Homo-oligomer: A and B are copies of this chain.
């Protein structure tokens, strides 16, 4: 049997991978794609569906709206069942993560005094939106349930908002434990599941609010519509601050006063982008065919393998693992920290045909989406990485930090 650092070992893991065939569902190229994960690959069926939807617009014209208008709720039910562990009528696909977070957090805070608790390294747009809505109390990175409990005196906190998987470190939060700590303090709990949706099993039962995106592990395309979740029991109490006509009961009666739908649909705002929305359905169906449980199993194996190779090859070169070693505490990307992370990331892209991404100040993120990532991809990427650092190729690049999306 091949040693873990031999390519044959990776090839053996691929040969035994029951999900290996899903790779054929995607448009592939020569480069090793390990963006971590700002944008999933293009599924062939999404390309087809987008083209079909555009044709449908051309042929059906305005009458297409009779079906299109159902898409936000219909796709929400699909996500509820297959991806986030919610009930029908608890999820909508609409707007961006930012706008959805704003709608839900503003609704939660309306008439509910108290501070907002989040983490100091929460994803930027989440922190910025929350800063605009009230006083924010910042926890240290990757808080445990006890940390949340310690930060929440009963009655003192209105809302706790955290990411299920941290965008930088890849740490996976204790969703159930933290939700319970928030509830014990009388606060509502809002989860951002952008970096877990489609790759980590999620169970939102008992959770109050959640937002997520469809362009990472769900592969619905750049800036594809986001989603929001609200548990059924809150839907009559909370109101969207954006009183749009798509949330109006009897929308086309166009009556004089805003009278929101008595369900999740009240959290729609304006006319949704149908071409972008239509792409979500085949993308999510593809993930559902593989199954999130099976994807999680492969994802854990991929990240574990990356950590093994890091320990063998990269730690001696000055890298530090930024992601938890405990598989139960990490998502599907691995962050490798290095003082020269920026240049190393650029060198991988420009000189080695490997695409990871960079998150300030020092993290090179390797996203390992199990639907289309092979173990040999991990081996090849890390082999190129170690040689590029050993040979100091990265020193040839401009050291100035810039933007890596």
A interface vs B, CB < 8 Å? 27, 29, 31, 33, 35, 38-39, 41-42, 46-47, 50-51, 54-55, 57-59, 61-66, 68-69, 95-99, 102, 120, 124-125, 127-129, 131-132, 213, 215, 221-226, 241-246, 248, 251-258, 269-277, 279, 349, 355, 357, 359-360, 403-405
Contacts and interface: CB of A to CB of B under 8 A. Distances in A.
Contacts of A245: 98, 124-125, 128
A131 B258 CA distance: 7
A55 B129 CA distance: 33
B128 A62 contact: no
Given A50-B50, A66-B405, A127-B256, 16 more contacts: A38-B62, A54-B221, A57-B222, A64-B222, A96-B269, A97-B270, A97-B271, A120-B256, A128-B243, A128-B257, A129-B243, A131-B257, A222-B271, A223-B271, A224-B273, A225-B273
A248 to B, nearest CB: 6
| Most B-side CB within 10 Å, residue of A51, A66, A128, A355 | A128
A50 B41 contact: no
A223 B254 contact: no
Contact of A360 (B54, B253, B258, B277): B253
Say how many copies of this protein the assembly contains.
2
Contacts of A47: 54-55, 58
Contacts of A127: 256, 258
Nearest to A211: B270
Contacts of A222: 57, 64-65, 68, 271, 273-275
